[in-house]
Every structure is written in C-alpha cells, then in structure tokens.
C-alpha cells in the first residue's frame, strides 16, 4: 500500500470524528460559506467550481434535489431549471442563441458543449443556492477540506449523473440531432491536480457528500495544468497544459472580494 493510500485511510476517520465533535459543540457564529460536493475556491481570484453537496438530515423534504422536478404533463414548464427533456432542449437552444450568439446551423462542437454546460450549470446552481439558504446559516456546522490539488475530472458528465438527468439530456440532444457522447468529449479536464493527492482530495469530497456531511473544499485555481505530452520526431515532449484556453463554463469569478 502506498503512502497516499495510507494517508487516505487515516484522514477520513479523523474528518468524520471532527464533524461529530462539531455537532455536539454549542452553536457559534460562523460566516456564510459555499457548500459543494467537490469544489475549488481560488485563493487569488475566488473562483468556485463543482457540484452541490447532499446535506443532512436524510429526510426527503430536506433534500435539495426535490426542489427541481420533472414537469408533469399539463403543468407549466420551467425552462430555466426544469429537468424534463423538453425543458432542457429549450434551455439549450436559448443558451446557444442568447449566451453564445450562435445559430444551431453554424455552431461548432465546442459551442454545443458550452451551451449544454451552461444549461446544466443553471440547474446545478439552483440546487446549490437552495442548499446555502437552508443549511448555510450561522449555526451550521461544516467541514473545510484544504488541499493544494483537486483532481476532479471532467465536470459535465459528472454533473449530469449527480442531477439524475443523463437520459433526459441525451433525449434532448438526440431530438436536436446531436450526439451527447461527442459533446462530452469536448471538455478539457481541469488542470487542478497531479495524480494521487488531487484524486484523493476529490474522493474525500465525494465520500463526505455520500454520507451527507456538509463540506467545502478549498484549493488553488491553477492557470496551467502539469503538462501535455506530444510525440515530436519520434521523441516524447512535454508542452504547457493550457486547459483554460477555451474558457471554463463551471466557474464564477468573485473579483470584488479577491
């Protein structure tokens, strides 16, 4: 067993034990914070990316996912944050036209990815804001996980899974003549980690969400990843990983508080 695995086995029980102690402690005034399953908040630019955490208690009425529902037939739809295939399709077209200024006939595959990411982000943030409203008060207890790296992986497919809308989105894209898998392949993997340490941090955040422990991850928004590899004249060469060169639809810059 390597050192990172040993470290992982030691830290998670400590985090859970710490949270239990916080629950038993008397309430203290604490500032509002962002609550996410996996997130990175840049020290210099205050950027938040990730997916919403699932808070406790476990009763269904407290679960944020119940606020966003598929619109039944005969009811008014919610194009902005609705989860039905028709609502997602219309929101996608609206983002393609109004957010990117593109016609469907002239949109590139990257345009399609960005429009879909913005469509999913609206639904993601609706859940996150509700979490902050319900569980982000001054008496809330939260675990803060600090790591120099978070190897989160591509966000779009993961967020579709977390929101439970993968098949609805696939249906919406097929209805427009697009292949969801081809769109997913356009996403750049965030250059926020370098292997074991970054993946360990991401797994901790997912594990804390799975057991419904309120947690937030604090890290660094790196402008460049570790490196990309190419073959040049038969030799392996390393080049700069410019993972932000096409923009990142999952982040919000908080320049006013940087």
Label residue 249 left, alpha or beta by phi (over 0 means left) and psi (-120 to 50 means alpha). Answer: alpha
Cβ 45 vs Cβ 163: under 8 Å: no
Supply the pLDDT for residue 31.
33
Supply the pLDDT for residue 68.
59
Supply the pLDDT for residue 40.
34
Supply the pLDDT for residue 213.
81
Supply the pLDDT for residue 48.
38
Give me the residues paired with residue 146 across strands.
218
3-state secondary structure of 216: strand
For 92-116, the three-class secondary structure string (H helix, E strand, C coil) is: HHHHHHHHCCCCHHHCCHHHHHHHH
Cβ 147 vs Cβ 201: under 8 Å: yes
Residues across the chain: 258
Supply the pLDDT for residue 241.
86
Return the number of other C-beta atoms located less than 10 Å from residue 118's C-beta.
Answer: 19
Supply the pLDDT for residue 54.
39
Supply the pLDDT for residue 58.
38
Supply the pLDDT for residue 80.
87
Distance separating alpha carbons of residues 237 and 229, to the nearest angstrom: 6
Distance separating alpha carbons of residues 83 and 57, to the nearest angstrom: 24
Distance separating alpha carbons of residues 158 and 152, to the nearest angstrom: 9
Local mean pLDDT, 10-residue blocks, the chain (258 residues): 52 60 49 33 34 38 47 61 93 95 92 96 89 74 88 92 94 96 92 85 89 84 85 90 90 82
**Domain 3-257 of CATH type 3.40.50.2000:** yes
Cβ within 8 Å of residue 4, ≥6 positions away: 196, 197, 200
Supply the pLDDT for residue 8.
52
Distance separating alpha carbons of residues 153 and 52, to the nearest angstrom: 16
- 125 secondary structure, DSSP code: H
């Amino acid at each position: 067993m390597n050192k990172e695995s040993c470290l992982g086995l030691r830290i998670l029980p400590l985090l859970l034990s710490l949270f239990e102690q916080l629950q038993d402690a008397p309430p203290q005034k604490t500032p509002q914070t962002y609550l996410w399953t996996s997130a990175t908040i840049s020290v210099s630019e205050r950027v938040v990316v990730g997916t919403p955490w699932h808070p406790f208690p476990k009763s269904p009425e407290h679960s944020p996912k119940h606020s966003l529902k598929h619109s039944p037939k005969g009811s008014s739809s919610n194009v902005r944050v609705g989860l039905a295939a028709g609502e997602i399709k219309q929101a996608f077209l609206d983002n393609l036209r109004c957010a990117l200024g593109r016609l469907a006939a002239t949109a590139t595959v990257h345009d399609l990815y960005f429009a879909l990411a913005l469509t999913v982000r609206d639904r993601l943030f609706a859940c996150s804001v509700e979490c902050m409203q319900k569980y982000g008060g001054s008496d809330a207890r939260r675990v803060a996980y600090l790591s120099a790296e978070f190897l989160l992986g591509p966000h779009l497919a993961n967020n579709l899974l977390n929101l439970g809308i993968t098949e609805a989105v696939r249906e919406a894209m097929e209805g427009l003549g697009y292949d969801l898998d081809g769109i997913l392949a356009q996403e750049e993997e965030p250059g926020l980690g370098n292997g074991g340490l970054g993946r360990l941090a991401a797994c901790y955040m997912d594990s804390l969400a799975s057991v419904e422990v309120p947690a937030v991850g604090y890290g660094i928004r790196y402008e460049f990843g570790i490196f990309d590899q190419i073959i040049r004249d038969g030799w392996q060469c390393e080049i700069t990983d410019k993972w932000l060169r096409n923009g990142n639809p999952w982040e919000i810059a908080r320049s006013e508080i940087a």
